[in-house]
Amino acid sequence: MSRNGLLIDYQYCTGCHSCEVACKNEHKIPRGKWGIKLTEVGPYQIEGDKWEWNYVPVPTSLCDLCEDRVKNGEKPTCVHHCLGQCMEYGPVEELAKKMTGKGKKVVLFAP
Amino acid sequence: MVKEKVLERVGEIVSKITKEWKHVNEDGSYTVRTCGWSPPGDHPVGCGMKLHVKGGKLVKVEGDADHPITQGRLCIRCLTLPEYVHHPQRITTPMKRAPENRGKDIWQKISWEEAWDIIVPKIKEYKAKYGAESIVVFGGTGRQACLYYYPLGFASIGTPNVCYPWSGWSCYGPRCSITDYILGAGYPEIDFAGTYPDRYDNPNYVVPKWIMQWGKNPLMSNPDGFFGHSLIDLLKRGTELIQIDPRMTWLGTRSKYVCQLRPGTDTALALAFINVIINEELYDKNFVENWCYGFDELKERVQEYSPEKVADITWVPAQKIREVARFMATEKPGAIQWGLAVDENPNGVQLGHAILSLCAITGNLDVPGGITLGPPAALLGKWRMETRRNLSPELWDKRIGAKEWPALSTAMATTHPDETLDTLETGKPYKLRMGWFNSSNFITPTCSAQPDRWYRALKSLEFNVVQDLFMTPTAMAFADVFLPLPTFAEADGVVVTHFGRNAVFLGAINQALRVGDTKSDIEVCIELGKKLHPDMWPFESVDDFFSKQLKPELGIDFNDLREQFIYQPKYEYRKFESGKLRSDGEPGFNTVTGMVELTSTLFEAWGEDPLPYFQEPPYSPVSTPELFREYPFVLTTGARKFTSFHSEHRQISTLREIDPYNEMEIHPDAAAKLGIIDGDWVMMENMFGKCKAKAKLTPIIHPQVVHSTHGWWYPEKPGEEPSLFGVWESNINTLIPHKHIGKLGFGCPAKQMICKVYRIEEGV
C-alpha cells in the first residue's frame, strides 16, 4: 500500500506558523507540544546580497497526516491553511516526482 | 473506483455547503461562511472562512477554499479566533465606574438602557453648555471602527472633532491625501488580479515583471486590505521583488534587489532613481508628454540627487541605485507598493510624491500588472464622509487644527492629531470635556507619539466612553462607561478592502454567534444616532443600513451579498484615457491640471515646495551629531509580527507562546560592544523616553540601527494604576516626539529616531 507524505517547497515558506496552530486546533495539542513545528535556518549572509534564511516545518510523531480530514475528502489542515501554499499532500511516489520539477529548497516528509 | 466515487460525492456535499452562508449540521451544530475583518484585528482583508458553532460556542475556524483571494489560507490570528471569542477576560456587558475610581478596577455591570441613560444626557449637557465641539471621538487603526468612528462623531453625537491621534496622521492618511493631490485617485495598489474571479489566469491580466516593497512587509501586515501572501503567488509566477528596507527581511532573501537604506533617507533614494531614469532617457516619453504636468521642473530638481551623493546619504551603493533604476524603467509592467514608512516620516509627503512620480514616468499607472487606481471614495467610504452634512458650517469650522493645516484637513475629515494634544493640554482654542474612545487603545505604543504626554493630557476630560473587547490600559485609565464590542464572528457587517478606496472586493461578514450583551460599531451608531440625530439614521436595522448602501451602487441588498458571498467589481484599465477617473468624464486625472502633477500646484498653494526634496530626519547622525554621540543608534519601530495586530492579541496564549515579549533587533557586532547577548533584557532610551525589550541579535539589521516592535502591554500584569497592565514598561512610542511633523502637517519620526541601548538586569 502506498505511503503518504508532505512535500514542502520551503523556498516559499514564510514562517507564518499557520501549520503549527491549525494542527494544534485539529488535534487538540496543548501548549509546549506540536504536531508540526517550524524550524529556522539563518538568517546569515552568504556573500553580497545573497542570504540564507529558511523556515522548514517539521512534522512530529503526533502527526497522523490528518487521517480524519483526509477520509472526508479534505486536505491535511497544515496544507489547507499554509499561507505560502508551499505544502502538498499525497502518495510519496507522486510527491517525489513533483520534487524533480522544483528548485533546490524542497523536502519530503513521510511521517 | 468505489473510493473515488465516495470522494466525489463528499466533494459535492462540501461544495453545496460552501454555497450556503449558513448550514445546520445533523448534530445541531452549524457552520457560517464569512469574510473576516476585525476585531480581533486586521485591516479589511476579508479572508474567507467557515465558523463552526456547537452548543453556543465557536469551536473551530476553517479557511474557505472557495474564496478567490485567500483560497483556504488563514493566518494564526484567525485560527485562534475561538480563544479570543471565549477568552475569560473578555468584557461582554456594559459597565460603569464612578469618576473618582478611574484607574481602579471598580466596575458595575449595567444594561445598555442604563448606559444610554448615562451617556445621552451627558452629550446633551455638553452640547448645550459648551457646544458639540467640546466632545472628541478618538479612533484607532484598521478595525471595522475605521468606517464608523467618523459617522459616530459627525452624525450620532454631532461633533466636528473626530481624531486619529497618531502624530502627523502617520498611517494611510498621508498616502491617501498625497494620491488625491497628485493623481486625483483612490489608493494606488499593485495589480494582483484581485478583481478577477479566475485571478491570475484571467486573459486581461499581466503578471508584473517586478514589484517593489517600499518600507512595507505585507506578509505580516496585510496592509489596507491587500492579502500579503499574494506576493508569494506572484513570486511563483515569476515576478521579481525589490525591497527598500533598513532590514534584510525574509522577503528580501527572495528578492532580486534589496536596498538596505539608512532609516528616514527614503526620499533621497527615490529622487536618485528618478535622476537615473530621466538622465538616461529611460522614462516613458509618451506617458510623460501626454499625462504629466511639470516634468521639466522635476528633471531640474533631481539633478541635485546624483547616485553618488545619494549613496552617501542613504548607505545604498551608487551602482545599486543605477541598476535598480534601470531595471524598474526597462522591465514592464511593474509596480511599487508603498508602506507605512512613507507616512511615518516628516519628509514623507515628498517621498510619496516621488514614488508616485516614479510610477508615472515608468508608465505603470493603471495598466495591467502595474498600479491600479480606484475612485477616491466609494460605498461605505463615501457614506462616512457624507455624514458630515449633519454639522453646520459654523460647527465644522471649529474642527481642531483644520485652518492651520489645510493640506491635512482638505483630504482628511478629522482634527489635526498633534493640535488635538495641544488643545487638551492648553484648553485652547476651547476646552475639550468629553472623550469617546472607539477601538482606540492609544496610550499603548500604537497610534500616538509620547503616549505618556497624551495620558497626562487626557486626564482633563470630564467624561469618557470606551468601546472595546478587553479591559485595555486606555480603558482602565479613562473609561467612565465601557461599552463592549463583539468580534467579527458575532455581528453582521460588510468588509470592503482598502476601506473602499480602490476595493478589489466586498464581502459579507456574517454573524455566527453572540457572546454576552455586546453591540457592534454600526449598532451603536444607529442606536445612539436615533436618540440624538434621528434624521441622520433612517435605517430600521443593520441589514437595512447595509442594503441601503449597497443597492444604489451595486444593485444588490445585504442578503444578496450574503448569498453571493463576495462581490468583485469590474476593473477597467487606462481610465485616464477613457475619462473614468474624472467626475466631468474628460480624459486625464482628477487633479487641478488634469494631469499627474510631478510639480504640485496644491503643495505650492499651501506654502510647500511644489517638487519633492530630501530633508534629514529631525534627529539623526547628520542633523544632530552631538546628540547622536549620546544616543548612537538610529531607532526604527513598528515592523509587524504574525502574532498580533498592533496592541491586540497579547492575552491569547497560543500567540504569546510564539512571541512572548516586546522584541528589539540589534546587530551582533553592536551587541557585543555593549555586552548584550541574545535574549538579554535591554533598555532603549533617548531624551524623550525609554522602553524595555528582549534583545534579538541578528545580522539583518545595520550595526548602527536598532528596531523595536510596538503595541506592547502585558494583560497578565496588574491592571490598576500605576501599572495599567505594564503599559509604561515596553512603551516604544515614549521615544517618539510630539509634533515633529512635515510642513504640510503630515508625518512623524517613528521610523527614524535615535536612542542608546543598554543591558538591564530586570525585564518586565
Give the DSSP letter string of B558-624: HHHHHHH-EE-PPP-S-HHHHT-SSTT--SS-SSSSSSEESS-HHHHHTTS-SS------SSSTTT-
**ipTM topping 0.85:** yes
Cβ within 8 Å of A, B 465-494 = none
Residue B452 confidence (pLDDT) above 60: yes
Amino acid B623 reads S
Which numeric CATH code is attached to B625-759? 2.40.40.20
Q: Give yes or no on whether B104-170+377-486+518-538 and B625-759 have one common fold.
A: no
* Residues B679-704: b if buried by 16+ CB within 10 A, e if exposed: ebbbebbbebbbbbbbbbbbbbbbee
| Partner residue opposite B74 with nearest CB, options A55, A81, A86 | A81
Within an 8 Å CB–CB cutoff, is residue A28 touching chain B? no
Reported as a pLDDT band with limits 50, 70 and 90, residue B41 is confident
Residue B386 confidence (pLDDT) above 50: yes
Residue of B nearest to A32 (CA): B657
The pLDDT score that the predictor gives to residue B3 is 39
| Partner residue opposite A24 with nearest CB, options B10, B65, B654 | B654
Place of cell 531614469: B277
C-alpha distance from B307 to closest chain A C-alpha (Å): 19
Reported as a pLDDT band with limits 50, 70 and 90, residue B20 is confident
Residue of A nearest to B6 (CA): A73
Cell matching residue B567: 462581490
- Of B732, B738, B737, B685, the closest CA to residue B713 belongs to B732
Chain A contact set for B700 (CB, 8 A): 43
Pick among B232, B234, B237, B255 to test the A interface (most A CBs inside 10 A)? B232
Within B375-473, strands assigned E span 434-438, 463-468
Is A81 in contact with B7 (Cβ distance < 8 A)? no
User: For residue B469, with 0-12 CB atoms within 10 Å meaning exposed, 13-18 middle and 19 or more buried, which class applies?
Assistant: buried
The pLDDT score that the predictor gives to residue B687 is 98
Q: Name the least confident of B347-361, B485-499, B548-562, B606-620.
A: B548-562
What's the mean pLDDT in B334-348? 98
Q: Distance of alpha carbon B91 from its chain centroid, rounded?
A: 25
Report the distance separating Cα A13 and Cα A30, nearest Å. 24
Give the mean pLDDT of chain B: 95
Residue A111 confidence (pLDDT) above 60: yes
Chain A contact set for B73 (CB, 8 A): 18, 81-83, 85
Reported as a pLDDT band with limits 50, 70 and 90, residue B377 is low
Count the alpha carbons within 13 Å of B393 in the hemisphere toward its beta carbon: 0
Right CATH for B104-170+377-486+518-538 from 3.40.50.10330, 3.40.50.970, 3.40.630.10, 3.40.50.740: 3.40.50.740
3-state per-residue secondary structure call for B390-405:
HCCHHHHCCCCCCCCC
pLDDT in tens, A94-103: 999 999 999 9
pLDDT in tens, B460-511: 999 999 999 999 999 999 999 999 999 999 999 999 999 888 999 999 999 9
Q: Locate the domains of chain A by residue range.
A: 4-109
pLDDT in tens, B179-195: 999 999 999 999 999 99
What's the mean pLDDT in B308-331? 98
Report the distance separating Cα B77 and Cα B728, nearest Å. 25
Chain B contact set for A74 (CB, 8 A): 14
- Of B447, B449, B559, the closest CA to residue B494 belongs to B559
3-state per-residue secondary structure call for chain A:
CCCEEEEEECCCCCCCCHHHHHHHHHHCCCCCCCCEEEEEEEEEEEECCEEEEEEEEEECCCCCCCHHHHHCCCCCHHHHHCCCCCEEEEEHHHHHHHHCCCCCCEEEECC
Return phi, psi of residue A48, to 5°.
55, -130
pLDDT in tens, B220-264: 999 999 999 999 999 999 999 999 999 999 999 999 999 999 999
Q: Please answer whether residues A12 and A82 qualify as being in contact, where contact means their C-beta atoms are separated by less than 8 angstroms.
A: no
pLDDT in tens, B568-582: 999 999 999 999 999
CATH architecture of A4-109: 2-Layer Sandwich (3.30)
What's the mean pLDDT in B694-722? 98
Residue of B nearest to A11 (CA): B254
Residue of B nearest to A79 (CA): B73
Residue B7 confidence (pLDDT) above 50: no
Q: Please answer whether residues B174 and B348 qualify as being in contact, where contact means their C-beta atoms are separated by less than 8 angstroms.
A: yes
Give the mean pLDDT of chain A: 97
Within an 8 Å CB–CB cutoff, is residue B86 touching chain A? no
Residue B376 confidence (pLDDT) above 90: no
pLDDT in tens, B499-548: 888 999 999 999 999 999 999 999 999 999 999 999 999 999 999 999 99
Q: Locate the domains of chain B by residue range.
A: 104-170+377-486+518-538, 189-372+577-605, 625-759
Chain B contact set for A21 (CB, 8 A): 76, 79-80, 654
The pLDDT score that the predictor gives to residue A1 is 60
Please give the C-alpha separations between residue B262 and each of A43, B311, B638, in angstroms, as whole numbers.
20, 10, 16
Residue of B nearest to A31 (CA): B654
Residue B5 confidence (pLDDT) above 50: no
Is A21 in contact with B79 (Cβ distance < 8 A)? yes
The pLDDT score that the predictor gives to residue B26 is 93
Q: Please answer whether residues A45 and A51 qualify as being in contact, where contact means their C-beta atoms are separated by less than 8 angstroms.
A: yes
Is B10 in contact with A72 (Cβ distance < 8 A)? yes
The yes/no answer on whether domain B189-372+577-605 falls in CATH 3.40.462.20 is no
